[in-house]
């Protein structure tokens, strides 16, 4: 494999990774693959490299974004590293603020804090993370976001507690805060708070144009942002031919079906995925929500992504994929970057 090419494109390209755990390999292998992929994205001129938060699953090694972000920052030079995202209901807001203030001190100007509302796991695991279910509801989320923002330099909240605490002494810069979501709720909240917003198109079931309309319709300028700034994250697997891409996308389909049925397992190989017999219900599920949103030849997928950007009017595009081989991800992102201009 060669290094990634530089990106010159109408909107910046970025990467979201989950440190996928594949059959026959270890968590250490998955994490080292993610670090290697971040290095390639850094060399190739990609804008951001985010990692997700998932818990108690057999197919994702990215359980603690701040820890992984620290490793990514140490192994890259210029790319922005961040969370896609930190699931705020799982954590005390002050802890999140301290973690990302520390990361920003280590890698000034390179740290993104993407915040999500869902727990990213089942209720039992969420309760184990937070030690209580009292603060897992929707109603506390906006207030907790404002608390984190205050401790990271966006001092809008007039409360004695937040004003008495500091996330870090003598900061010289602050992380860039994003709200993430797969519904209209986070889009509208991001607009009301004047924050950057990223829509999770890779698993969201809503029309992305309507989501971004909701974001822009509720946007109020803030100290953080003068005008709306939106990014869409979607999944893609491309290859020299559509047939090859469809074959390489098989593991993502099997993982998605496992998530829907509760039958979790490491990411299987394309050969194993091709040998699985799918029921009529499986086919129906995949028709409504495929494991990968864009699958096809390099040229076709790139053109479809350009159309997605044009139709949604976003300022940035983030790519993600579930594959058995890290080279499949790299080849997809490299090919799209080469054609993106």
Where do the structural domains in the chain lie, given as residue ranges?
A: 13-238+297-339
Q: Positive or negative, the Cα torsion across 227, 233, 238, 242?
A: negative
| Phi and psi torsions of 176, nearest 5° | -85, 125
Q: Are 179 and 148 in contact (CB under 8 A)?
A: no
Q: Quick one: which of 243, 251, 256 has its CA closest to 272? A: 251
Q: What is the pLDDT of residue 139?
A: 78
Cis peptide preceding 7, ω within 30 of 0: no
Residues with Cβ within 8 Å of 251's Cβ and at least 6 positions away in sequence, in order, are 22, 267, 268, 269, 270, 272, 273, 291, 322, 323, 324
How many Cα atoms occupy the beta-carbon half-sphere of 322 within 13 Å?
A: 30
pLDDT of residue 262: 76
CA angle 114, 137, 290 (to 5 degrees): 60
Quote the CA–CA distance of 36 and 71 in Å, as a whole number.
11
pLDDT at 2: 45
Q: Give the predicted TM-score (pTM) of the model.
A: 0.94
Buried b (16+ CB within 10 A) or exposed e, 129-156: bbeeeeebeeeebeebbbbbbbbbbbee
Give the pLDDT score at 6: 47
- Beta strands 176-181 and 111-116: pairing type? parallel
CA gap 53, 34 in Å, rounded: 14
Nearest to 178 by CA among 96, 109, 309, 84: 84
- Of 106, 124, 29, nearest to 66 (Cα)? 106
Helix (H) or strand (E) holding 183: none
Rounded-to-integer distance, Cα 187 and Cα 209, Å: 11
- As a CATH number, domain 13-238+297-339 is 3.20.20.30
SS3 state at 205: coil
Nearest to 79 by CA among 46, 52, 35, 32: 46
Residues forming beta bridges with residue 199, ordered by sequence position: 181, 232
pLDDT confidence of residue 288: 86
Q: Which residues contact 154 (CB under 8 A, 6 or more apart)?
A: 174, 177, 222, 223, 224
| Mean pLDDT of each 10-residue bin along the chain, 341 residues long | 49 97 95 98 98 91 96 98 94 96 98 89 75 65 96 94 95 97 94 98 93 97 96 98 98 91 89 94 89 97 97 97 96 97 80
Both tokens of residue 259?
A: 């998530």
Q: Quick check: 182 and 204 in contact, CB under 8 A?
A: yes
d(CA 265, CA 172): 44
């Amino acid at each position: 494999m060669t290094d990634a090419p530089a990106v010159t494109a109408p909107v910046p390209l970025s990467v979201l990774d989950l440190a996928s755990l594949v059959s026959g390999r270890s968590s250490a292998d998955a994490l080292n693959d993610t670090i290697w992929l971040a290095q390639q994205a850094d060399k190739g001129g990609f804008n951001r490299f985010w990692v997700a938060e998932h818990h108690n699953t057999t197919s994702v090694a990215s359980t603690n974004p701040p820890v992984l972000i620290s490793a990514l920052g140490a192994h890259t030079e210029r790319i922005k590293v961040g969370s896609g995202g930190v699931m705020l209901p799982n954590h005390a807001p002050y802890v999140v603020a301290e973690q990302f203030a520390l990361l920003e001190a280590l890698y000034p100007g390179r740290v993104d804090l993407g915040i999500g509302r869902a727990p990213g796991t089942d209720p039992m695991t969420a309760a184990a993370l937070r030690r209580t279910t009292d603060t897992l509801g929707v109603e506390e989320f906006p207030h907790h976001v404002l608390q984190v923002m205050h401790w990271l330099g966006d001092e809008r909240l007039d409360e004695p507690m937040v004003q008495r605490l500091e996330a870090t002494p003598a900061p010289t810069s602050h992380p860039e805060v994003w709200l993430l979501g797969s519904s209209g709720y986070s889009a509208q909240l991001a607009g009301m708070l004047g924050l950057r917003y990223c829509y999770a198109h890779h698993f969201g079931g809503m029309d992305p144009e309507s989501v971004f309309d909701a974001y822009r319709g509720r946007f109020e300028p803030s100290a953080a942002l003068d005008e709306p700034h939106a990014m869409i994250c979607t999944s893609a697997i491309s290859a020299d031919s559509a047939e090859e891409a469809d074959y390489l996308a098989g593991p993502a389909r099997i993982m998605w079906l496992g998530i829907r049925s509760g039958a979790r397992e490491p990411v299987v190989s394309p050969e194993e995925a091709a040998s699985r017999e799918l029921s009529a219900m499986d086919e129906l599920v995949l028709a409504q929500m495929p494991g990968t949103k864009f699958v096809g030849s390099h040229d076709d997928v790139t053109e479809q992504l350009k159309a997605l950007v044009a139709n949604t009017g976003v300022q940035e595009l983030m790519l993600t994929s579930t594959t058995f081989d890290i080279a499949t991800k790299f080849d997809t992102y490299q090919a799209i970057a080469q054609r993106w201009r």
